[in-house]
Structure 1
Amino acid sequence: MAADTRDRMIGAAIDVLRTKGVAGMSFTEVLDASGAARGAIYHHFPGGKAELVAEAATRNGRDVCGHLAQLPTDDPLTVVETFLASVRPVVDASAEGAGCAVAAVTIDPDSGTLRDVASDVFDSWTTTLAQRLTAAGVDHDTAADLATTLITLLQGAHVLCRADGSLEPFDRITRTATDLIRHRYPRGR
Structure 2
Amino acid sequence: MAKETRARMIDAAVVALQQRGLEGMSFTDVLARSGAARGAIYHHFPGGKSQLAAEAAAQHGRDVLARLADLSATTPRAVAEAFVDFARPVVEASSRGSGCAIAAVTLPVGEDGDELCHVAATAFASWSGQLAAALSGAGLSAEDAADKAALLITLLEGAQVLSRAAGSTAPFDRAVRAALTLFDAKP
> One fold, TM greater than 0.5?
yes
Deviation at 1:121, TM superposition (A): 0.6
Query: What SS is found at the alignment partner of 2:106?
Result: helix
Identify unmatched segments of 5+ residues in structure 1.
Answer: none
Summarize the Cα distance change of 1:25–1:43 in structure 2 as closer, same or farther, 3 Å threshold: same
**Cα deviation 1:117-150 (Å, max 9, x = unaligned):** 1011111011111011111011001111111111
Q: Is 1:28 aligned with 2:28?
A: yes
Give the root-mean-square deviation of aligned CA atoms.
1.0
1:118-133 equivalences under 5 Å are 118-133=120-135
**4+ residue runs over 6 A deviation:** none
Identity of aligned residues (%): 54
Whether the aligned pair in 2 keeps the contact of 1:12 and 1:30 (CA below 8 Å) is yes
Does 111-120 or 57-66 show the bigger shift?
A: 111-120
Q: Which amino acid aligns with 1:116?
A: H
Q: Using the TM superposition, give the Cα deviation of residue 184 of structure 1 relative to its aligned residue in structure 2, in angstroms.
A: 3.5
Structure 2: which 5+ runs fail to align? none
Q: 2:67 matched to which residue of 1?
A: 67
Q: Which amino acid aligns with 2:141?
A: D
Q: Distance in 1 between matches of 2:40 and 2:109?
A: 27
1:140 is aligned to 2:142? yes
Q: Could you state the TM-score of these two structures normalised by the residue count of structure 1?
A: 0.95
Is the Cα contact below 8 Å between 1:23 and 1:108 reproduced in 2? no
Contact residue 100 and residue 158 of structure 1 kept, 8 A: yes
Inter-partner Cα distance in structure 1 for 2:87 and 2:69: 14
TM-score scaled by length of structure 2: 0.96
- Residue of 165, 176, 179 corresponding to 1:163: 165
**Size of the alignment, in residue pairs?**
185
Cα deviation per residue 1:15-68 (whole Å; 9 max; x = unaligned)? Answer: 000011111111000000000000000111111111100110000000000111
